[in-house]
């Protein structure tokens, strides 16, 4: 049986792969569209079409760089490491929710329980880093105690 933390780790890994696959498909599709774009009698229409495809490729390129950066950060997580301080890869339970410190994926629901996949650069991620069980943080006007840390 996989622990919750291992399941969250697997979910994040799949999330990154799906995003990479989607972006790579978009880039490939744009390249095909660009190559198949033929000169028509309406020159302006042709140029507008090419420009739209170029913009789409640039956007996909930026998304690819972002996801590759996410993948680099995520590759540093060893799910079997442990620490008493909150760090990359920690599963942190607060009074108002449980957070997986890794990458920003939003809410992950496992067995009907919501977990928040956050990055170390998120506002709450920054507050949690380096804290230990029993420490309190102030977030959005609320004081929250760290109930437990699973690393």
Domain spans, the chain: 4-75, 91-150
User: What does the pLDDT average to over 5-21?
Assistant: 94
Tell me how far apart the alpha carbons of residues 8 and 120 are, in angstroms, rounded to a whole number: 16
Digit-coded pLDDT (tens) for 61-117: 999 999 999 999 999 998 888 889 999 999 999 988 999 999 999 999 999 999 999
pLDDT of residue 11: 95
Q: What is the pTM of this model?
A: 0.82
How is residue 60 written in tokens?
């996909």
pLDDT of residue 1: 46
38 falls in which pLDDT band (50, 70, 90)? low
pLDDT of residue 36: 75
pLDDT over 90 percentage in the chain:
68
Say yes or no to pLDDT of 43 above 90: no
Q: Which of 37-46, 64-73, 97-106, 128-137 has the lowest mean pLDDT?
A: 37-46
Tell me how far apart the alpha carbons of residues 46 and 67 are, in angstroms, rounded to a whole number: 32
32, containing H or E segment: helix 4-36
Q: What are the angstrom distances between the C-alpha of 18 and each of 12, 58, 124?
A: 10, 19, 26
Instruction: For the sheet with 97-102, list strands across it.
Output: 106-110, 113-119, 97-102, 91-94, 142-150, 136-139
């Amino acid at each position: 049986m996989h622990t919750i933390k291992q399941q969250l780790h697997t979910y994040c890994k799949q999330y990154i792969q799906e995003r990479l696959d989607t972006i790579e498909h978009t880039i490939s599709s744009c390249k095909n569209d660009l190559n198949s774009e033929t000169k028509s009698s309406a020159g302006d229409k042709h140029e507008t079409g090419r420009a739209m495809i170029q913009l789409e490729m640039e956007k996909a390129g930026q998304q690819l760089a972002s996801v590759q950066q996410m993948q680099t950060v995520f590759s540093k997580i060893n799910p079997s490491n442990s620490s008493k301080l909150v760090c990359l890869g920690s599963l942190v339970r607060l009074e108002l929710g449980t957070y997986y410190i890794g990458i920003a994926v939003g809410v992950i629901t496992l067995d009907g329980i919501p977990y928040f996949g956050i990055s170390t650069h998120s506002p709450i991620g920054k507050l949690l880093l380096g804290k230990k069980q029993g420490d309190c943080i102030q977030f959005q006007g609320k004081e929250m105690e760290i109930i437990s840390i699973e690393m």
